[in-house]
Amino acid sequence: MEISGIISAIVIGAVIGLLGRLVVPGRQHVGVLATVLVGIVAAFVGALIGQALGLYDTKGVAWLVWVIQIGLAALGIVALERMKARD
């Protein structure tokens, strides 16, 4: 992967992570770095799910893939929040 691909993955992951964080109600005590990392993982996994389901076969933006990615990021934020609450 080239440096531009890595930078793109980080930027898209950050956006997905922040959108996922906005979906979760209340205040989260998860740091920015953790939010970005959750977003990157959610973007990658969501893209794999979208590809497996054939959701990229569209003439425009694959909005359903974005919804899946944001949902996965929200689940990741909630999981991190619960793990921090146990400590």
- pLDDT at 1 (0 to 100): 57
- pLDDT at 34 (0 to 100): 92
Q: What is the mean pLDDT of the chain?
A: 88
The answer to whether residue 23 scores a pLDDT higher than 60 is: yes
Task: Give the pTM.
Answer: 0.86
DSSP characters over the chain: --HHHHHHHHHHHHHHHHHHHHHS-S-----HHHHHHHHHHHHHHHHHHHHHTTTT-SSS--HHHHHHHHHHHHHHHHHHHHHHHH-
